[in-house]
């Protein structure tokens, strides 16, 4: 599989209040220092006159859409939309396991792993917060399952933790029991060089107009290649 670290972010939507960017895998959304490479600094360098605030964060290994608020009013509007359940996100993920039933929800609370503060656990514990993920099976092959995941809450590592707790860890996610390699019946090997998870769509009400902002981003080539190598069709990956 190709190295995805040098793929440039892509601007999907830009108006006076919002900037929505398609983040490549391998690039953090934010960084603790001003010199470290991250999506927020990429935005800052290209739009030095904007005060862009990332309203959501994707893990470094996860690709897809990140929304930046450009004004305080826009940031407040997005927070209100989240509280009202009007801010929707759709993720696409790959697992090597069977998932049954074909649709449902995962509602385990998420807490901090006492042995590793960068890791999360499904269940009660320190920093416990309610979490809800709705899932549906989008496609199956003899080797893997393609999932559509809709987080109703926004907890750290939520989708990764919930999938692992459901017995369907995401391909390429060893932090949460996911395999990195799959040997196919013909002896060929499929390798996931990062977590096979992608934020494919965001949708929320516009603050300026009586309509919704609805943006999509296609799955990155590395993830498409992995799914096809596992026997899936490219068309399965449509949001």
Check: CB of residue 27 under 8 Å from CB of residue 220. no
Hey, CA dihedral for 132, 117, 197, 218, is it positive or negative?
positive
* Burial zone of 84 (CB within 10 Å; 0-12 exposed, 13-18 middle, 19+ buried): exposed
* Burial zone of 8 (CB within 10 Å; 0-12 exposed, 13-18 middle, 19+ buried): exposed
Q: How far apart are the first and last CA of the chain?
A: 23
Active-site choice (15, 45, 59, 186) = 59
45 is catalytic: no
- By residue count, the chain amounts to 239
User: Which residues are known to be catalytic?
Assistant: 59
């Amino acid at each position: 599989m190709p190295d995805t670290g040098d793929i440039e972010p892509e601007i999907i939507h830009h108006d006076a209040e919002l900037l929505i960017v398609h983040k490549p895998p391998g690039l953090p959304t934010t960084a603790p220092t001003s010199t470290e490479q991250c999506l927020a600094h990429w935005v800052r360098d290209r739009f030095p006159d904007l005060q862009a605030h990332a309203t959501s964060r994707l893990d470094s290994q996860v690709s897809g859409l990140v929304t930046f608020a450009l004004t305080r009013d826009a940031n407040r509007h997005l927070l209100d939309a989240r509280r009202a359940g009007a801010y929707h996100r759709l993720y696409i993920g790959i697992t090597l396991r069977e998932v049954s039933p074909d649709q449902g929800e995962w509602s385990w609370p998420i807490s901090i792993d006492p042995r590793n503060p960068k890791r999360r656990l499904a269940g009660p514990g320190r920093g416990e917060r309610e979490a809800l993920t709705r899932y549906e099976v989008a496609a199956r092959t003899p080797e893997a399952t393609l999932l559509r995941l809709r987080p109703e809450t926004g907890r750290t590592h939520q989708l990764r933790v919930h999938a692992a707790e459901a017995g369907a860890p995401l391909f390429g996610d060893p932090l949460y029991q996911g395999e990195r390699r799959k040997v196919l019946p013909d002896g060929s090997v499929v390798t996931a060089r990062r977590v096979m998870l992608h934020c494919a769509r965001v949708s929320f009400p516009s603050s300026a107009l009586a309509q919704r902002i609805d943006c999509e981003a296609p799955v990155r080539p590395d993830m498409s290649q992995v799914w096809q190598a596992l026997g899936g069709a490219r068309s399965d990956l449509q949001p």
